[in-house]
Amino acid sequence: MKNATNAAREDIRPRVERFLAGVQKPSRYIGNEWNVTRKDWDQTKVKMALAFPDIYEVGMSHLGMRILYHRVNHHPEYLCERVFAPWTDMEQKLREEEIPLYSLESFQPLRNFDVVGFSLQYEMSFSNILNMLDLAGIPLYAAERGPEDPWVIAGGPCAYNPEPLAPFIDFFLLGESEEQLLAVLDLIAEQKRQPLPRREFLRRAAQVQGVYAPELYQVAYQADGRIEKIERADEEVPDRIEKAMIKDLDEVLFPTQPIMPYLEIIHDRMTLEVMRGCSRGCRFCQAGMVYRPVRERSPETLWRQMDALVCATGYQEVSLTSLSTGDYSCVQPVIRGILDKYKDERINVSLPSLRLDSFGVQLAQEVQKVRKSGMTFAPEAGSQRLRNVINKGVTEENLVEAATAAFKAGWSHLKLYFMIGLPTETREDLDGIAALVRKVVDIGVKSGRRNVAITVSTSSFVPKSHTPFQWEPQDSMASLEEKQKYLKERLRDRRVKYNYHDVQTSFLEAVLAKGDRRLAKVLLLAWQKGCRFDSWSEHFRYELWLQAFQEAGVDPHFYANRPLAGDDVLPWDHLSCGVDKEFLIGERDRAMQEVTTPDCRFGECSGCGVCGGLGVDIDLKG
């Protein structure tokens, strides 16, 4: 029953508290943190559970979850509470004791909420979504839910190709949800007052920009397995779903009283979002496409938010976050303003992303006067040819300049990130990685740094939707493993540590990232066999996934390793991030010609279509 009494809600807490001492990190499951929001259940018109399909420490570090929690609870008639994926020991206890998955604020079972909203940050969390629904006692398939069940919705970057989850989610939210989610909750409030049949409600929800209800669209397949067409199953919904977007970041609410966890989380510090979007145009980067266009917050807004965060938290570090913080036009005055005002409190500023040049090092010197941490650069590829292919926009000279400045400024430990398996990659490109690393080591030694230490990390290229490389196949697992082994031999040096990603995980990520609705059956079978926490190496069970593919009669290589033609119908063709498909095709062609496309913020418009298509005028504040 959704209108459970306070007495009924109190039944779960004592039952949980009896066994919490026997699970790892029980503070993940108790709630009651500082700055938490509590509302009267019976006095709110719509109750939402914000669900993150990973553990507490990961979900509580995610800024988007904090923003939506704050935004919904700011509405006087709506309530928002949190729930995270329980670790395996907690799941076992919940199942043994027959306790449903509950929210942290009120210990209310998820099935009593009006809406459960999942955050889709990475494909390897998909099995956790099914597991959380099952733990909550909510039917897995959307078609099997009745009027007493909550609406199950989802949003985040993976919503740009949510097709493997389509049968399990009532509707997805594409884009930035600060206002979009409130419009959806308004419809749910009206639905509670005057209920409509399910189909009619979904039609109404689909009128909100960025809302995608999969059952209102149908997919036809060709004999060879390719998609023939995707079309509306209802004339009242749009042919193409356009993402929702915030035009002015200074005008939207920001969580300046964030919840303070009892245990250390992944990013345990204050957060200021300086801008959204990135216009550098790396051709492998989904975030750089789907979060366009660039929009900045003014320094004045950021300073006000900083004052409030310091008063509300007690943290001694603040992170200036964005996809490319070094490109924020007012980054230097904002940093100086914060350091000058809070020098007595010894508050440190961290930058999650630095430009690969001396300017980035100068910024790092400025912000790390209080506490010096590591320095990270991402050349991505080992040769200039391949960096041109991916449109990285940096040169070997940039890396040499940045490394030289970093060692002179006092750093001894640098981290370098590369990607292997990129389109057109050759053995010479791998040799280039090794040569660059040796050059950086030599720079450190010649600069007089003691204990020079270089950490090299390589990830495997995963083709993602809405990028110029969405048509490209992923390199085979055998090839990726051979390349990792080759680099390991080439990077043998006591001053160099080499880390690389598991290729089986990268392969499954590619399958899900490029997949269609036929993968839903595979996902269900894999979960039933015990798959969960697939992004955690100690829990990833590749053999179970292979069994699921076999039983479902689905070939995973059809998705990950098959090149696509420009005229192929893609599973996400009806979902728009605002960037024109023609632009992406053109960028793919330019990549194969090793031609770069300049950053449109500092040159001519590249014609991606996002500004005109979404009616946005770029206004860089500062």
pLDDT band at residue 8 under the 50/70/90 scheme: very low
Domain at 6-242, CATH from 3.30.70.20, 3.40.50.280, 3.40.50.300, 3.90.1150.10: 3.40.50.280
pLDDT value at residue 621: 39
Section 389-407 average pLDDT = 92
Q: Choose among 404, 351, 356: nearest CA to 374.
A: 351
pLDDT above 90 (res 361): no
% residues pLDDT > 70 (the chain): 94
pLDDT above 80 (res 573): yes
pLDDT above 80 (res 617): no
pLDDT band at residue 6 under the 50/70/90 scheme: very low
The answer to whether the bond into 14 is cis (omega within 30° of 0) is no
DSSP type of residue 145: -
Mean pLDDT of all residues belonging to the chain: 93
Identity of the residue numbered 62? H
pLDDT value at residue 350: 85
pLDDT band at residue 5 under the 50/70/90 scheme: very low
Q: Mapping DSSP to helix (H, G, I), strand (E, B) and coil, where does residue 439 land?
A: helix
pLDDT above 70 (res 202): yes
SS3 content of the chain, % helix, strand, coil (to 5): 40, 15, 45
**pLDDT digits 0-9 by tens, 69-80:** 999 999 999 999
**pLDDT digits 0-9 by tens, 20-55:** 999 999 999 999 999 999 999 999 999 999 999 999
The domain ranges of the chain are 6-242
pLDDT above 60 (res 247): yes
Tokens (6 digits) for 549: 């593919």
pLDDT above 80 (res 119): yes
Residue 298 CA from chain centroid, whole number: 24
Section 1-28 average pLDDT = 76
**Residues 110-139: b if buried by 16+ CB within 10 A, e if exposed:** bbbbbbbbbbbbbbbbbbbbbbbbbbbebb
pLDDT above 70 (res 7): no
pLDDT above 70 (res 276): yes
pLDDT band at residue 620 under the 50/70/90 scheme: very low
Q: Could you give the angle at which helices 477-490 and 503-513 cross, rounded to 10 degrees?
A: 140
Query: What DSSP element (H or E) covers 270?
Result: strand 270-273
DSSP-derived pairing of the beta strands 46-52 and 78-84: parallel
On whether the CB atoms of residues 377 and 417 are closer than 8 A, the answer is yes
CA 249, CA 257: separation in Å to the nearest integer? 18
pLDDT value at residue 1: 37
pLDDT band at residue 612 under the 50/70/90 scheme: confident
